[in-house]
Amino acid sequence: MVNISEVRGNSRETRTAAHTHIKGLGLRSDGTSEKVAGGFVGQEKAREALGIVVDLIKSKSMAGNAVLLAGGPGTGKTALALAVSQELGTKVPFRPIVGSEIFSTEVKKTEALMENFRRAIGLRVRETKEVYEGEVTELTPEEADNPLGGYGKTISSVIVGLKSARGTKRLRLDPSVFESVQKERVAVGDVVYIEANTGAVKRVGRSDAYATEYDLEAEEYVPIPKGEVHKKKEIVQDVTLHDLDVANARPQGGQDIMSMMGQLMKPKKTEITDKLRQEINKVVNKYIDQGIAELVPGVLFIDEVHMLDIECFTYLNRALESSISPIVILASNRGMSNIRGTEDIVSAHGIPPDLLDRLLIIQTLPYNAEEIKTIIKLRAKTEGINISDAALEIISQHGVNSSLRYALQLLTPAWILAKVASKQEVTELEVQECEDLFIDVKRSAKIVAGAQPNSFIS
């Protein structure tokens, strides 16, 4: 029988999202922005301002402060916020939400807002542990007579042989560790990691000494650990404050029937009390003072912030003053508009003046014709679309006359029509056909305005 093993590549197919091409803010080393860099085109002032914000976040000098991105629809506010998350890296929590997301029937809106605040605050816990790690050379359970009598046998201990690059050890482990070994499906030749204090066992992978063996299942091969088998290792764990809240908020009901029925009928989302959060904050501050943990203030991005009401804005003021608070980035495309939850209070961007006074406001400007053309060309390259110069000019003109979003949405349908016609690139014919099939906002408004009342009702 022929031995066949599957080789899996590292690349994976993903759909091209609206902001796939954004790789960062595209700033030079001196903080100035390039015309086209990091997937960004234009918005130089806004990118430079956010570059300073990123530096403040990295130096932990901006906790509890907020930034407002103000500009019209399609001027890149969400893209700028995502670029900030790319600049900060994966270790800094980034929590994007929409203003209407916090309105829920299960928990009150201020609780949903605070939950997202806590999700955006990370805690990096450093702990030194005694560990044993190496390749398993022996795995022998030792049996003893059952103390309760009978013919059965019980496992009294487990002998595990471990080999590393600088030595070998034989360990006698507790029977409870054998259960962990069985759950991890550890076999001779596997590389394992055993904690001395808790007895926790983790299978890291198969030793690369066995990489030549044939196996139908895709196996991860890892090198044999360096150094001694027994060593002290610093373990770094990243959690959010919301994780700690949830871990301590699960109610432990009684044994009576009412308590059990209450737990069965309890909704999935439960409100976490302010008292519990204060207790967790005390423990967190204690760990920080002892040097065990480090606070990592992340970013909470609230898009369409004008959808929040006056109660939420009042709560935002209080939350920003908290000693443990993330950096908040707000985005709004409104000018002078009514504050939600009030009848006659009109304010800039739909945000109360007392909250606006706390914000660093960054303006995003509409794109000019040359920038729109560059964006469409960049987007076509990202989606793997070949487009002729004439078709690019027509689509760019749509971006100027109608909107950038409409112009970008024409790219993929035009590419599909080109492939149906067995063409290697999108031409002006495919773009004109898409214009007839998909109308833009301005043409749609004219059609609706010119239609007779109730003409769309059959």
Examine residue 381 and state whether it is found in any structural domain, yes or no: yes
Q: In the numeric block, which tokens belong to residue 358?
A: 């706390």
CA-to-CA distance for 296 and 90, rounded, in angstroms? 12
DSSP 256: S
Q: Which residues, given as ranges, of the chain have pLDDT below 50?
A: 9-14, 253-261, 263-265, 267, 455-458
Give the 3-state secondary structure of 30-66: CCCECCEECCEECCHHHHHHHHHHHHHHHCCCCCCCE
- Domain residues for 150? 126-237
- Where does a domain end: 237, 255, 289? 237
CA-to-CA distance for 352 and 62, rounded, in angstroms? 22
221 and 133 both lie in a single domain: yes
Q: What pLDDT score does 213 carry?
A: 64
49 and 109 both lie in a single domain: yes
99 and 142 both lie in a single domain: no
133 and 184 both lie in a single domain: yes
Q: What pLDDT score does 8 carry?
A: 53
Q: What pLDDT score does 10 carry?
A: 46
Q: What pLDDT score does 6 carry?
A: 56
Burial of 70 (0-12, 13-18, 19+ CB in 10 A): buried
Q: What pLDDT score does 72 carry?
A: 85
- Where does a domain end: 363, 379, 396? 363
Q: What pLDDT score does 456 carry?
A: 46
CA-to-CA distance for 324 and 61, rounded, in angstroms? 13
Helix (H, G, I), strand (E, B) or coil at 281: helix
Instruction: State in Å, rounded, how far the first CA of the chain is from the last one.
Output: 68
Report the mean per-residue pLDDT for the chain: 79
Examine residue 61 and state whether it is found in any structural domain, yes or no: yes
pTM comes to: 0.68
Q: What is the Cα 415 distance to its own chain's centre?
A: 31
147 and 106 both lie in a single domain: no
CATH number at residue 423: 1.10.8.60
109 and 152 both lie in a single domain: no
Q: What pLDDT score does 219 carry?
A: 66
Express each pLDDT in 321-330 by its tens digit: 877 788 888 9
CA-to-CA distance for 316 and 402, rounded, in angstroms? 36
220 and 145 both lie in a single domain: yes
Q: In the numeric block, which tokens belong to residue 351?
A: 């945000």
Note whether 303 and 328 are within 8 A (CB).
no
Q: What pLDDT score does 14 carry?
A: 47
43 and 140 both lie in a single domain: no
**What is the number of domains present in the chain?**
3
164 and 230 both lie in a single domain: yes
Helices and strands (H, E) in the chain, number of each type: 15, 17
89 and 141 both lie in a single domain: no
134 and 231 both lie in a single domain: yes
CATH number at residue 159: 2.40.50.360
CATH number at residue 87: 3.40.50.300
Note whether 314 and 108 are within 8 A (CB).
no
Note whether 231 and 131 are within 8 A (CB).
yes
Examine residue 344 and state whether it is found in any structural domain, yes or no: yes
CA-to-CA distance for 54 and 62, rounded, in angstroms? 9
Examine residue 5 and state whether it is found in any structural domain, yes or no: no
Examine residue 171 and state whether it is found in any structural domain, yes or no: yes
Express each pLDDT in 3-60 by its tens digit: 565 555 444 444 556 666 677 787 888 878 777 777 777 788 888 888 888 888 787 7
Q: What pLDDT score does 11 carry?
A: 45
- Where does a domain end: 237, 267, 286? 237
Examine residue 290 and state whether it is found in any structural domain, yes or no: no
Q: What amino acid is encoded at 25 in this protein?
A: L
139 and 76 both lie in a single domain: no
The torsion angles phi and psi of 92, rounded to 5 degrees, stand at -100, 125
